[in-house]
Amino acid sequence: MTSPETELVRVLEADGRFAPSPAAERYLPLIEAISDAELEQLYRDMAVIRAIDTQATNLQRQGQLALWPPSRGQEAAQVGSGRAARAQDTIFPSYREHAVTRIRGVDPVDIIKLMRGVSHGGWDPTDPKNGNTRLYTLVLGSQVLHATGFAMGRLFDGRSGTGDLDRDEAVIVYYGDGASSQGDVHEAMVFAASYQAPTVFFLQNNHWAISVPVSTQSRVPLVQRSAGYGIPSVRVDGNDVLASYAVSRIALDEARSGQGPRAIEAVTYRLGAHTTSDDPTKYRGNDEEESWALRDPITRMRAFLEGRGASASFFDEVDEEGADAAEDLRARTVELGPPPVSRMFDHVYSDPHPLIEEQKAWQARYEASFEGGQA
């Protein structure tokens, strides 16, 4: 089916050629205004997070982490949208947005802490160094409601839609093709549309919800779900970082300036396993994986930059930066000690609670009883 909502926005072909699709027309002025330095930054972001993601996957295989959800293959969708957000915007990730969180300033080791089981959340979303990045959430779709409620609050407080683009705020929320079937997502879209909340719904359609293919998830392109609620929605090639950047930039600017919510379906592919607990060979074939490997977002952008004359030394330098970041991640991961046992009591209630205090004291006495061989 072809409709304005289902035509794909793409500017880079899989081989890196600049060949905009008809639907990309309105984004071309924005894309042509991207500087050489910014183009290189987009490539750098993708390549460095790939190195970090590969290292984290290896660390899990070596018993250093309980779990890791790889972002391999989804770097263009994430980097394009992550770079499109402005400093004042708030990010609501799911659990695979390693590139987005890094762009916003979150230390990848903070994600490691969560996946190693030494932290309940990973980072402090209110600390300015984390760039208004809310915590990962594993409850599918819940963050989409949180994001919309937050966006409505921003609107009601006059922090969005005032016409001041340096100050006005938007919210971008990440979710997957599987999550798009959750009631929470649909309820969020109803509220966002009713209240014209400044929410950008960023759906990464990576074709799989663990072992369930997107073809089971929906009979129509997923972009039509948000469009059905009256939310202007675009479908973008999620392996084209320039297209992802442009559609996200415009959607965020429109949402921020009081035009209501926007939705993006980024069509991409999860090249790795769902998580390190999953074995994709049980439910999908090599042919499919190989056909998507040919559309790898990083090789595509590299070919584009090479065509524009980027030097070999630039790519060497990025490779080195990725290797250093991966090495640093490993070094700091293996140094992470266990959290104090007392921490399990700390966040049960926001204020001190006599019962919890009593249990904490009991637990401390019990631990102490092992010292000196008295137990």
Ligand X SMILES: Cc1ncc(C[n+]2csc(CCOP(=O)(O)OP(=O)(O)O)c2C)c(N)n1
* Of 207 and 256, CB closest to Mg ion: 207
What does 96 interact with, of Mg ion, ligand X, none (CB < 5 to 8 A by kind)?
ligand X
* Of 143 and 233, CB closest to ligand X: 143
Which residue from 50, 96, 256, 300 is in contact with ligand X, where contact means CB under 6 A?
A: 96
Provide, rounded to whole angstroms, the least separation between the CB of residue 73 and ligand X.
11
Query: The sheet that has 8-9: what strands, in order across it?
Result: 8-9, 233-237, 262-267, 199-205, 171-176, 90-92
Does residue 176 interact with Mg ion by CB under 5 A? yes
Provide, rounded to whole angstroms, the least separation between the CB of residue 209 and ligand X.
3
* Of 54 and 275, CB closest to ligand X: 275
- Residue ranges in 206-235 that form contacts with ligand X under rule CB under 6 A: 206, 208-210
What does 302 interact with, of ligand X, Mg ion, none (CB < 5 to 8 A by kind)?
none
Contact window for Mg ion (CB under 5 A) among 40-48, 135-143, 205-213, 359-367:
205-213
Which residue from 5, 45, 89, 177 is in contact with Mg ion, where contact means CB under 5 A?
A: 177
Q: Which of 167, 283, 343, 366 is catalytic?
A: 283
Which residue from 19, 87, 138, 294 is in contact with ligand X, where contact means CB under 6 A?
A: 138
- Residue ranges in 249-308 that form contacts with ligand X under rule CB under 6 A: 270, 274
Contact window for ligand X (CB under 6 A) among 112-120, 134-142, 283-291, 365-373:
134-142
**Residues near 64 by beta carbon (within 8 Å), at least 6 away in sequence:** 116, 333, 334
Contact window for ligand X (CB under 6 A) among 24-32, 175-183, 235-243, 366-374:
175-183
Does residue 261 interact with Mg ion by CB under 5 A? no
* Of 53 and 253, CB closest to ligand X: 53
d(CA 285, CA 290): 9
Contact window for ligand X (CB under 6 A) among 36-44, 172-180, 227-235, 288-296:
172-180
Does residue 190 interact with ligand X by CB under 6 A? no
Provide, rounded to whole angstroms, the least separation between the CB of residue 94 and Mg ion.
9
Catalytic residue list contains 270:
yes
Q: Which of 44, 274, 295, 300 is catalytic?
A: 274
Catalytic residue list contains 207:
no
* Residue/partner pairs of 21-25 with CB below 8 Å, 24 or more apart: 21/237, 23/234, 23/235, 24/243, 24/246
Does residue 97 interact with ligand X by CB under 6 A? no
Catalytic residue list contains 283:
yes
CA dihedral 116, 118, 121, 126 (to 10 degrees): -120
Residue numbers of the site for ligand X (CB under 6 A)?
Answer: 96, 138-140, 176-179, 206, 208-210, 270, 274
Residue numbers of the site for Mg ion (CB under 5 A)?
Answer: 176-177, 206, 209
Catalytic residue set? 270, 274, 283
